Amino acid sequence: MNKPDVIKGKTWQAQKFDGGYIVNINNGEKIISSLEDFILSEKIGSAEITGIGATNEATLGFFNFKKEEFSEQTFSEQMEIASAIGNASYKNEELYIHMHVTLVRDNYSSYAGHLVEATIHGVAEFYVRTNPFKVYKSNEVDKNMWVYNFEKTEI
Ligand code: FE
């Protein structure tokens, strides 16, 4: 078996394995935008994403169903990314990374929620397990909810 090539982006490096990639995002860079850049440049149709690392600025989101509002809050302090888990698919033709995180503070309490964006402060180690099919979400049933629409999956 040959050693796989190192794939280099502007803010990340990756190495392919059978079924996916290991992705490292550079210190000081943004998680979501780097993963978007990686997925688009590798032409990945859909994926499961998991990661750990550290951040010093993260914006989390929470959808309030009653108000039909997505509220956001930014936390600016050193935090461990204890867990980042999500997926990549497409909303119409636009790539959408849906990711949730648990961020641990220096007193071991945590913030958790939908990850809007976070800046790496330390390391960011991701595994991206890929699906060769391009998978879509649609909001035809409820405009606030983007759900998988497997009828639209493309080979
Ligand atoms: Fe979410």
pLDDT tens sequence across 81-123: 999 999 999 998 999 999 999 999 999 999 999 999 999 999 9
At 65 the pLDDT is: 87
- How many angstroms separate the alpha carbon of residue 89 from the centre of ligand 1? 13
> Coil, helix or strand for 151?
helix
* Phi then psi dihedrals of residue 135, to 5 deg: -105, 140
- How many angstroms separate the alpha carbon of residue 115 from the centre of ligand 1? 7
The partner residues of 94 in beta bridges, in order of sequence, read 91
CATH of 6-152, one of 3.30.420.40, 3.30.1330.80, 1.20.210.10, 3.40.640.10: 3.30.1330.80
Which residues of the chain fall short of a pLDDT of 50? none
Q: What is the DSSP letter of 30?
A: B
Instruction: Please list all protein residues whose beta carbon sits less than 5 angstroms from ligand 1, which is an ion.
Output: 114
For residue 12, count CB atoms less than 10 angstroms from its CB and return exposed for 0-12, middle for 13-18, buried for 19 or more: buried
